[in-house]
Amino acid sequence: METRVHEIADGVYRLSTFVPDVSPEGFTFNQFLIDADEPMLFHCGQRMLFPAVSAAVGKVMPVERLRWIGFGHVEADESGSMNQWLAAAPKATVVHGVLACDVSLNDLADRPPRPLADGEVLDLGGKRMRWLDTPHVPHGWEAGCFYEETAGTFFCGDLLTHVGDPSPLTSDDVLGAAVAADEMFGAMSLAPGSGAMLRRLAELAPRTLALMHGSSFAGDGAGALRGLADYCDSRRLA
C-alpha cells in the first residue's frame, strides 16, 4: 500500500492512501501534516496504514518531530493508530475537544491528551489551529474540526466525503460527489441541528477544504458547506 504526498496549501501536506475495495470506485484515506514550529498530524489512519503513512511523513520531516496528533472524532480511520504515533514520536501529544478526552481519550491514549475548549486556538508557531466543537456533525457526539487561521484552511474531516481516487486538490464542484457518496453510505448524522451547524461553519469562508476522503477543495468552501447543509436538511425532513 502506497501513501502519496502532495502539498495542498503552504506547509500543509496531504498524505493519501487509495484503498480499492471500499466502494465500487475505491476510497481514499487522507491525513494532513501541518508543518510549523510544533508540527501536527491531523488524522492518524487505521493501524494497518501506519507503516505507509509514517513513511510518507518521513518524506517531509522526521516522524519524531511531531508535536501534536489530532483528529475529528474517535473512529478507526481517524484515531486507530494513535498509540503507534505516540510511540514513534515521543514528544507528541494527542489533542481533541474536551468531550472526547473525558469520554474516550483519557482512557484510550497511552499518554494524557490535551483537551481544547470550543473556539480555543492551538498555536503551532507559524500556524494557528482553532478547535470547533461540532457534536454529531458529521457523526459522533465528540466530533469537532480544526480551522487554520493564517491561511484559511478548514480541516473538515469526513464532511464532503466522496469516493474514487480524484486529484489531490480541485476547484471543481465536490458537493455533487459528496451527496452521491452520502446517499450510498448514510454517514452523515441527521441531527436536528446539523444543517444549522454546517451553516455556522460556512461563515468561516475557508479558502481550502482539507477533506479526509476525496479531493481537497480550493474555492468557495462556504458554498460547498451551505450546499451540504441543504442536503442534510432535505434528508432529515424527507
Q: Give me the residues that bind Fe ion (CB under 5 A), please.
A: 75, 77, 158, 212
Helices (H), the chain: 50-60, 76-79, 82-88, 98-100, 106-108, 175-185, 194-202, 221-237
Give 77 or 182: the residue with its C-beta nearer to Fe ion: 77
Q: How far is the CB of 212 from Fe ion (least distance, A)?
A: 4
Closer to Fe ion by CB, 209 or 212: give it. 212
Cβ closest to Fe ion, residue 77 vs residue 142: 77
Q: Least Å distance between CB 213 and Fe ion? A: 6
Beta carbons within 10 angstroms of residue 90's beta carbon? 9
SS (H, E, C) 38-76: CCEEECCCCHHHHHHHHHHHHHHCCHHHCCEEECCCCCH
Nearest to 4 by CA among 51, 41, 53: 53
C-alpha–C-alpha distance, residues 185 and 176, integer Å: 14
Distance of closest approach, residue 178 Cβ to Fe ion, in angstroms:
13
Dihedral of the CA atoms 171, 167, 201, 183 (nearest 10)? 110
Task: In angstroms, give the least distance from the CB of 196 to Fe ion.
Answer: 20
| Least spacing, CB of residue 206 vs Fe ion, in Å | 18
Residue nearer to Fe ion on the CB measure, 75 or 102 = 75
Copy the grid coordinates of residue 192. 436536528
Distance CA 15, CA 56 (A): 7
In the bound state with Fe ion, the residue whose beta carbon lies nearer, of 22 and 121, is 22
